[in-house]
Structure 1
């Protein structure tokens, strides 16, 4: 298995996300949308890690098929009273995330935000609407969004970034970086033709070939 998988060919996209996090735009957050395996999670995690090194507080969670049936399923580690009134639980989560007024800026990352339950999506909506945090969301293209997130985008505070597959050149650069060796042009073209620049497909294909070789 390849443990180190660098972020390659995403310099422009990373700068966009960093600009939003730094507050140098009119947006309260950003939605990274794209096909499965295109690298949305990797980009979002890198942006949050860089924010953490700049002394921001960061919080990472994810929507899942199993948790979307659980109210506040994406924030269960923050909820302290599951028996409370729903609005009180939302307030509880917001308080747990945001804390006091003198704490460093909060950046909340939510992977697969299209799978959030309604109450978790409402928490994100509150964070955005009241400027309590900058949010970085990943959403699979073509999926239905929770209504609360739709309202965030309609009102304008969330920017959308559509993440495309890697180009031929970026695909080759990524593989050469991982393998720490140059590739023949024909091999690079074959990998790109098989994966069309999808990073997840590329990783699986490369790992399978490396295991087959020995």
Structure 2
């Protein structure tokens, strides 16, 4: 019996095309068929390498985790390292389109677990309990992930409104005095900004630092 030959393509090319497609179409429109079209191949060819979309997403998630790990800070005090790590994670999520959603949709495997372990190692020298360490690192990591998802959703909403000719529509804010005042001051422009990201992660780290101080005093 003649053995079937593996198609002339690679996992790397499939994953590279996946990122390109996610950038142009978003995760909602992503299908194996559209990916095959992007690669100029038949859809069944992809299944030689990835049996379904979930397995492909898993591979993409692992790639993102490895990229993050590579650039994590290796020295410094815990707060400085967690702050720099949050910035690294955010930049990598920007580099790989829809990667925040993909990480959420994927099962934690060795690369993801190594990433989380790296973050836990940063706070390990403190006198926090293991429960606190796990909880606080989870909060910080989830903040970065969901900030990236919020940025994506805001961008997609804006594009949708533009397509529907509603991008310039204004809502009457006169009945909401505080919101109107802040809107007029341009504060709504902070949504999704680097400044708001930095203030959010700083707020989390302030809270963790307070717990670290309390634990060192034996008050927890």
**Structure-1-length-normalised TM-score:** 0.24
Structure number with greater CO (CA < 8 Å, separation at least 6) is: 1
When Rg is computed on C-alpha atoms for both structures, the one with the higher figure is 2
Please identify which structure carries the higher helix content.
2
Please identify which structure carries the higher strand content.
1
